Amino acid sequence: MRRPKSQLNKFIRNTAIAFALFLLIAGIFSLYNTNSSQKPTDVSLDKLLEQINKEQVKSIQVIDNNLEITLKSGEKEKAQKEQESSLSETLKNYGVKSEKLTQIQISIKNTSASKIWGNILISILLPIIFILGLIYFMSRQMRGAAGKALKFGEATARMLRGKSKERETFKDVAGLKEAKEELIEVVDFLRNPGKYLRTGARIPRGVLLVGPPGTGKTLLAKAVANEANVPFLSMSGSEFMELFVGVGASRVRDLFNKAKKGAPSIIFIDEIDSIGGQRGMGITAHEEREQTLNQILAEMDGFTTDDRVIVMAATNRPDLLDLALLRPGRFDRTIILNLPDIKERRAILKIHCRNKPLDESVDFKELAERTPGFSGADLANMVNEAAILTARNGKKKVSQKEMLASIDKVLLGPERKSHVLSKKEKRIAAFHEAGHALVSHFLPHTDPIRKVSIVARGIAGGFTLKLPEEEKHMYSKAEFLDELAVLLAGYVTEKEIFGDITTGAANDLVRATKLARDLVTEYGMSELGPVVLGEKHKLKFLNLPGTEERNYSEETATKIDKEISKLINQAQEKSKEIIENCKNKLNRLGEVLIQKETIERKEFEKIVGGKKVKLGM
C-alpha cells in the first residue's frame, strides 16, 4: 500500500536518526578499541636488559605491571615487570646499573580506575542508554498509532464556514432553476427561521439531490454552504466505512454532534448510496454498513434530533436507497437534477468561458445546439479541452474551431492518428458513413446532418453526427422506425456497393436490435399491442442502467423475436430503396469523403441537395 507523503517523510527522518545513533555508538567503540598503527612487540625482561645495556632504549612507561617501551629507533615494545617490586628494583635485580637507568625516560601511570570506569561505560552504560533511547523512540511511535486508533470513531468531515470569493454561489450555477428555488428556501430558513416558525411551518429535515453524474449535485451543495453562511460539514458516504466494526456508526454520531454544537448548520453526505442501500438485500447486505445506516436514521429522526441541523445528500442511484431513509421526517424533499436543455447549456458554457480568452468567432448558440445530452461536467471538460487545444496550436485565443473539435473529442474520444486505413478500407468506411448520412437526410422524421467524418476517434472508425433543431423530450414511432433505417444504412450500403459486408457495421447492428426490442417490449409500438413485456428495474428518466426480469411465456418470447425481425427487415428495405434511388449522390458523397475525410453540414447539403426522393413504400 502506498504511504502518504507526510508518513513517508516521517519514516525517512526516523530512519536517518536511528542510523546516526548507530554510527555514533560504533564510533565510540572504535575510538575505545583503537590500537596503534604499529603493533608493539612482546619482549622478555632479559631482552629489555640487553637493550638497556646497549643504550637502545629511549623511554619506558609503566602502566601497572605493564611496560610500554620505545626504542631510539622508533620501534615499540611491551613487557611485564615483577608484580611485587618497582621497575628500578626489577631492573637492578637483573643487573642493570643505575647510570644506565638515568639515561632512560621513565614515567609511571596508574590506570586501573580509569580502565574500570571505561569498561563500565562501554559494556553497561552505553547499551542501557541505547536501549532506553530505542524504547523511547518506539513508545512515541506507539502513542501516535494509538492516537490514530482512538480517532477512528471521529468524523473526518470537512468544515466550511462563511463566504469566500473563491467559492461557488447560486450565481455560479447556471440552469437548475427549480432546484435552486427549493434550496433557496432552505438557506432562507437558516438565515431567518422566525419567519417560518410564526406560520407553524417546519423546514425539511433532509434534502436529497438526485441526478445523473455531472449535473451539478455537489456544486449546488457548495453553493448552499456559501449562501447560508452557516457551518457546513461535508463527507463522502465511503468515508464512514472502516476496517473496524462500529467505526461507521461512531463517525455518524460524531458528525451529528459537531453539527449540533455549531447549529444552525448543514451536513452534506455525497454518494449516500454507498452506505444508504436497502438493508438485507443480497450481496449488498453488510453488518457494518447497516449499523451505519441505522445510526443515520436515528440521528435524522430520533429522540435527539435537532431541527436546526439540515442534512443534504447526493446520489445518482436513488433506486438503491433504503425506503426508511426516504420517508417524510428524514429526506422530506427529493430534488431532481436533469441534464441541461439548450438554454441552460448556453448559460453553462458562458460561465465556464468567463476566464478564457475567446475569439470573436465563438458562437455559444451553435455550441449549445451541438451538445445535446451533455451534462454540466461534460461542458466544463469540453471548454477545458478547447483551451488545451488552443495552447497546443500556439494560439492565444480560443476560437470556434477549437470548440467544435473539443466537442468531437468529448463525444467520441481523441483522433487516432496511428489508425491508418488501407485504400480499400478507407473506401469502405467512406461509403459506409455516406450511406448513414444519405438515408438520414432523405427520411422525413430524422434530425439534420451536422457532420460526416471517417477520421477514427476512440473506438469509432468514423461517425455521422445528427443533431436536432430543438430539444426533444418525446419520440414517435415514425421517428424510431426512421432511426432503425439509418442504423442499418451502413450495412445495406456495403452490401449494395461492394457486394460484401464487414465488421464495421457491428455496433450499428447492436443498437438497431436493441431499439427494435424496445419498440416491441417497452414502448408498445408493435402488433403485440400496448403491453410492457419484461419488468424493468431502472429509473428511465435518469437514464440509468438496470436489469430486466422476464415475466412472459415462451410463446410470447417467440412472438417478440418475430416482431423484432419484422421491424429490422422493414427498416433494411427502406434503406435499400433510398440507396438504390440515390446511388449517384452516394457515389459523389463517398468520393468527397475519401478526399477530405470530414464534411460539414453546408458542404453535405450542397452535394446531396434537398429532401426530394420518391419512395415506393
Could you tell me where in the chain the CATH 1.10.8.60 domains are found? Answer: 342-412
**Does residue 519 surpass a pLDDT of 50?**
yes
Choose which CATH entry (3.30.70.100, 3.40.50.300, 3.20.20.70, 3.50.50.60) describes domain 158-336. 3.40.50.300
- Spatial distance between the Cα atoms of 534 and 552, rounded to a whole number of angstroms: 7
- Spatial distance between the Cα atoms of 516 and 509, rounded to a whole number of angstroms: 10
Q: What pLDDT is recorded for position 586?
A: 92
Q: Are strands 232-236 and 206-210 parallel, antiparallel or unpaired?
A: unpaired
The CATH fold assigned to 41-110 is 3.30.720
For the range 493-500, what are the long-range contacts, defined as Cβ-Cβ under 8 Å and sequence gap of 24 or more?
A: 493/431, 493/432, 493/434, 493/435, 493/436, 493/575, 493/579, 493/586, 494/428, 494/431, 494/432, 494/435, 496/576, 496/579, 496/580, 496/583, 497/431, 497/586, 497/590, 498/428, 498/431
pLDDT in tens, 462-505: 888 888 877 777 889 999 999 999 999 999 999 999 989 988 88
pLDDT band at 123 (very low <50, low <70, confident <90, very high): low
Q: What pLDDT is recorded for position 132?
A: 74
H-run or E-run covering 423: helix 423-442
Q: What is the mean pLDDT of residues 228-235?
A: 81
Q: What pLDDT is recorded for position 145?
A: 47
pLDDT in tens, 549-572: 677 888 988 999 999 999 999 999
* Grid cell digits, residue 218: 455537489
Sign of the alpha-carbon torsion through 569, 571, 574, 578: negative
**Does residue 18 surpass a pLDDT of 80?**
no
pLDDT band at 598 (very low <50, low <70, confident <90, very high): confident
Cα 97 to the center of its chain, rounded Å: 95
Helix residue spans in 33-86 (DSSP H): 45-53
Residue 322 · residue 278 · CB < 8 Å: yes
* Rounded alpha-carbon distances, angstroms, from residue 238 to 278, 289, 470: 16, 10, 40
pTM listed for this prediction: 0.66
**Does residue 458 surpass a pLDDT of 70?**
no
**Does residue 412 surpass a pLDDT of 50?**
yes
In this structure, the chain runs to a length of 617
Helices (H) and strands (E) in the chain, counts: 23, 16
Average pLDDT, the chain: 78
Could you tell me where in the chain the CATH 1.20.58.760 domains are found? Answer: 423-608
Q: Tell me the Cα Rg of the chain.
A: 44
pLDDT in tens, 97-121: 666 666 677 766 665 555 556 666 6
> What would the CATH number be for the domain defined by 423-608?
1.20.58.760
Q: What pLDDT is recorded for position 141?
A: 60
Q: What pLDDT is recorded for position 617?
A: 40
**Does residue 4 surpass a pLDDT of 60?**
no
Residue type, 603: E
Residue type, 595: Q
Residue 404 · residue 370 · CB < 8 Å: yes
Positions annotated as catalytic residues are 433
Could you tell me where in the chain the CATH 3.40.50.300 domains are found? Answer: 158-336
Residue type, 179: A
pLDDT in tens, 201-218: 777 788 899 988 888 888
Say which residue the cell 465563438 belongs to: 362
The CATH fold assigned to 342-412 is Helicase, Ruva Protein; domain 3 (1.10.8)
Could you tell me where in the chain the CATH 3.30.720.210 domains are found? Answer: 41-110
Residue 349 · residue 386 · CB < 8 Å: no
Q: What are phi and psi of 231, to 5 degrees?
A: -55, 135
Sheet arrangement for strand 309-315: 158-160, 232-236, 265-270, 309-315, 206-210, 333-336
Q: What is the mean pLDDT of residues 195-205?
A: 80
**Does residue 448 surpass a pLDDT of 80?**
yes
* Grid cell digits, residue 238: 465511503
Which residues lie below 8 Å from residue 162, measured CB to CB, with a gap of 6+?
226, 229
